[in-house]
């Protein structure tokens, strides 16, 4: 059974102007939402001049941006946008393997989808499906009416 509260298919998510919003970090890093399943959201990011650190490897901050973007998109799709919105509270990332080129793929899966908070695990893998980074994102669910936790 799907976890999404909004009608979601790959087409609308990938083409929705909210994901990523033009002129934002997600657009800058080249994030592309590529797949949505019953309980996961997947996207890619190139390893290039926008996302490398000075030593030529994927920047840990870029991995965190990919993780937070995918987790945040997924979190928002688990809510009713007429009543609430989601905001990041905490992100944790362990960088496991260096990547110097190609594309990395992140997969966001929920660990907890609650009324006031959500916790997402985001696995980032290289093109050989080797673990590059494992991240955990916690988001708050905030009421639009009161501007506080739902």
Domains delineated in the chain: 10-143 (3.10.129.10)
- Asked if residue 56 has pLDDT above 90, the reply is yes
Give the per-residue pLDDT at 75: 95
pLDDT confidence bin for 23, thresholds 50/70/90:
confident
Which residues contact residue 116 at a Cβ distance below 8 angstroms, ignoring those fewer than 6 apart?
A: 140, 141, 149, 150
Two tokens, residue 97: 């393997």
Do residues 8 and 42 make contact, with C-beta atoms less than 8 angstroms apart? no
Scan for tokens 């490897």, then name that residue: 57
Residue 37's CB: how many other CB atoms inside 10 A? 13
Separation between Cα atoms, residue 37 and residue 109, nearest integer Å: 10
pLDDT digits (tens, 9 = 90+) for 57-107: 999 999 999 999 999 999 999 999 899 999 999 999 999 999 999 999 999
Closest by CA to 3, choosing from 108, 136, 125, 145, is 108
**pTM of the predicted structure, to 2 decimals:** 0.89
User: Annotated active-site positions, please?
Assistant: 68
């Amino acid at each position: 059974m799907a976890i999404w509260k909004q009608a979601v298919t790959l087409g609308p998510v990938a083409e929705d102007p909210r994901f990523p919003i033009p002129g934002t970090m997600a657009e800058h890093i080249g994030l592309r939402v590529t797949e949505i399943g019953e309980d996961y959201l997947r996207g890619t990011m190139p390893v290039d001049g926008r996302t490398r650190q000075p030593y030529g490897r994927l920047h840990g901050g870029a991995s965190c941006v990919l993780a937070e973007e995918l987790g945040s998109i997924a979190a928002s799709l688990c809510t009713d946008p007429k009543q609430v919105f989601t905001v990041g509270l905490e992100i944790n990332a362990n960088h496991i393997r260096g990547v110097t080129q190609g594309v990395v793929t992140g997969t966001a899966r929920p660990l907890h989808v609650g009324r006031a908070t959500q916790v997402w695990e985001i696995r980032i893998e290289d093109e050989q499906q080797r673990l590059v980074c494992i991240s955990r994102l916690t988001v708050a669910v905030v009421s639009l009416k009161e501007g506080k936790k739902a």
